Chains A and B, each alone.
Chain A
Amino acid sequence: MAVPLLEVRGLHVAVAETEILKGVDLAVSEGEVHAIMGPNGSGKSTLASVIAGKPGYTVTGGEVLYSGESILKMLPDERARAGIFLALQYPVELPGIRNREFLRTALDALRESRGEDKVGIRDFNKLLEAKAEELGLEPEMMKRNVNEGFSGGEKKRNEILQLAVLDPKLALLDETDSGLDIDALRVVAEGVNRFRGPGKAIVLVTHYQRILNYITPDFVHVLIDGRIVRSGGRELALELEKRGYDWLREGAQTGAAPSA
């Protein structure tokens, strides 16, 4: 069997002495969409952040392999250039930096690392305009400062725009659905579905199964209290919608975590 694109092995992560992840295993292969679900504070965002290399987390045990190689010592920008993308739960405002310039610099950095030429300004603008239109973002927003004065929905769509333009291999979507109304959710989901494909992998972190009505996952994992307590297919998400998380939580507490 081929090596999974992403493999998390027995991952333990602490934030300021508090253990958040307590041994997470996960294998994601090309072409797959995995949903990580769980209640607030279960460690979902931590998992996505650690894979992307966000500072502030201490890995106290385990490994994260990308294409079979450990990435834990790599800087966030090195991971990004290797093909990992994190759509942030709370996209950051960058005062004085225009959206268009930011994205072009990022794309050039990725291309440069692959030994490709910088993107031509005209080609880039065409690409950006097309992708922005697909996501219902006004061309005018490309001239504005990154996320500054954007509504919550616009920020999330802007993240998916970056995903579309930068075209990574592995997309980590950290609660990209939260705070979106149904129309915005559909637009964002369509953007993710356009990205989806044989050479790509998606890890979708969410609290609600709502977005899974639009993005059908191949696998669903339930993360509670720093551990994956159950894995299954699409039907697991539907069951969670009906029953909530508590029935699994009790199982987690008694240590009788059912296997997938």
Chain B
Amino acid sequence: MTQAVATYEQYEADFRKLQEARSAEPDWLTELRSAAFARFQELGFPVARKGNEPWKYTDVRPLAAETFPYETAAAASVDAAQLFPFDDGMARVAFVNGRFSQELSTPSPDGLTVMPLTQALEEHGEDVRRHLAQHATYADEAFTALNTAFLADGAFVLAEGAVEMPLHIVYVTTERVATHPRTLIVARPTSELSVVESYVSATGGAHFTNAVTEVVLKDGAQVTHRQLLLENHETYHMANTRVHQSRDSAYRSLVYEAGGGLVRNELMVLLDAEGAEADLKGLYVSAGKQHVDNNINIDHAKPHGYSRLYYKGILDEQSRAVFGGTVMVRPGADKTDAHQEDKNLILSHEAEVDSKPALEIYADDVKAGHGATAGAIADEALFYMQSRGIDPERAMLFLVRGFVSEILDSVTIEPLREWLEESTTQALPRFRDKR
């Protein structure tokens, strides 16, 4: 317990320092920051226990027991080609240890405004103020509160019209620090945008990433959002993504998790107007002692909404995964069509998954379904491949690739899809360096 106290003291000291350094920022932001930090102090880190259903299977005590400094030295140099070789042909905005990196970033493509949040406060103050912290609320979310208290550089993305070039937002960590990456994406009416948001470690060794992302889709906007969690296995990664959809907008998401030691990903999509469409896909690949927890919520607030949620997991060695998903269909959200599914492939007797999809329906004339499965590779499939001359190791690799293809085939950026496929097998030690 004393260690946790030390942790809280560290956050407080860091917060005071940050407040002083940011004394020139607008009053509303100072107030937001202070309120959020006060709320974090009240809430404390969530506790895994009975009755606290969303945190029942994920214990963050090891994180609470460690301190990670917030202040960092000047950003170390980073080898982009080695750390994220998949972003050829994309625009890029990069952050190293939470600080914007001009060196690693490219100019914004046509139709897109991309800049650090600090700069956006001056140049797009109205958009920032209208949306920042409006969707990712911190009242019940300790990690969001902490992120909001510490929000600094972060990424501001504003899309207008059809943006052809995909954007890569990358947060790199090079040392033992706490970072609180904040991303705000606003897609103006009928705009089209493709974003890859990735998290990578430049080295081994623990760090703490506490990310919050807000995505706002105005009427008819279409956003394809791919979040890649690729950090090292010592890392604590807490992610909160909140999506707000207006009329006839379409949000397509892929959450890809192959990295991180203790990962908690919370994604909440609010379909807040008629005709909104959300397609959420996920792939988590875990080995060693990794723990990956996905908590995905789709909130149908208005009629004629459509949502599909499809997550898949591959677990090996002693890893553990948690899937909690809720599809909520609120009163009046009639004619909603929703489906969610979580499928797990378990390669080791020591790996474990807890999958709990749920539906809450309070409207009429709703089409909704859900399912969850967990199983090993089918003996008959393995035998079938062997009976054609394919050795068991290669057959397994084939079956694993087949399993993930349903998710990865949705990635229409070919170099990225190929990289993800390769990364998936490399994330499983039994297949490493095999083809």
Contact = CB atoms under 8 A, between A and B. Distances in A.
A157 B379 CA distance: 23
A110 B389 contact: yes
B392 interface: yes
Contacts of B362: none
A134 interface: no
Given A77-B392, A105-B398, A95 B403 contact: yes
Given A76-B387, A77-B390, A55 B381 contact: no
A105 to B, nearest CB: 6
Interface string B371-400: 000000011110111111111101100110
Interface string B389-433: 111101100110111111000000000000000000000000000
Residue of A55, A85, A96 most packed against chain B (CB within 10 A)? A96
A127 interface: no
A202 interface: no
A162 B389 CA distance: 11
A6 interface: no
B410 to A, nearest CB: 13
Interface string A198-214: 00000000000000000
Residue of B379, B381, B383, B401 most packed against chain A (CB within 10 A)? B383
Given A97-B398, A97-B402, A106 B389 contact: yes
A169 to B, nearest CB: 13
B386 A76 contact: yes
B389 A81 contact: yes
Contact of A54 (B383, B391, B395): B383
Contact size class for A? Answer: 20 to 34
A92 B381 contact: yes
B394 A75 contact: no
A145 B401 CA distance: 12
B421 to A, nearest CB: 11
Nearest to B395: A77
Contact of A113 (B380, B389, B405): B389
Interface in A70-110: 75-77, 79-81, 85-86, 88, 91-92, 94-97, 102-103, 105-106, 109-110
Interface in A138-184: 145, 162, 166
A92 B384 contact: yes
A217 interface: no
Contacts of A110: 389
Contacts of B388: 77, 80, 85, 102-103, 106, 109, 162, 166
A79 B389 CA distance: 8
Interface string A35-61: 000000000000000001111100000
B386 A94 contact: no
A79 B386 CA distance: 9
A163 to B, nearest CB: 10
Contact of A77 (B380, B386, B399): B386
Contacts of B403: 95-96
Nearest to A87: B387
A130 to B, nearest CB: 19
Contacts of B378: 92
B399 A94 contact: yes
Nearest to A101: B398
Given A105-B390, A166-B389, A92 B380 contact: yes
B406 A95 contact: yes
Nearest to A162: B388
Nearest to A76: B386
Nearest to A86: B387
A90 B156 CA distance: 55
A94 B402 contact: yes
A166 B401 CA distance: 23
Q: Which 6 A-B pairs have the closest CB atoms?
A: A96-B402, A106-B388, A80-B389, A96-B405, A76-B386, A77-B386
Interface of B: 378-381, 383-392, 394-395, 398-399, 401-406
Given A53-B386, A76-B386, 11 more contacts: A77-B385, A77-B390, A86-B387, A91-B384, A94-B398, A95-B402, A109-B389, A109-B394, A110-B389, A113-B389, A145-B402
19 contacts: A56-B379, A77-B385, A77-B388, A77-B392, A80-B387, A85-B388, A88-B384, A92-B384, A94-B398, A94-B402, A95-B403, A96-B403, A96-B404, A97-B399, A106-B389, A109-B391, A110-B389, A145-B402, A166-B388
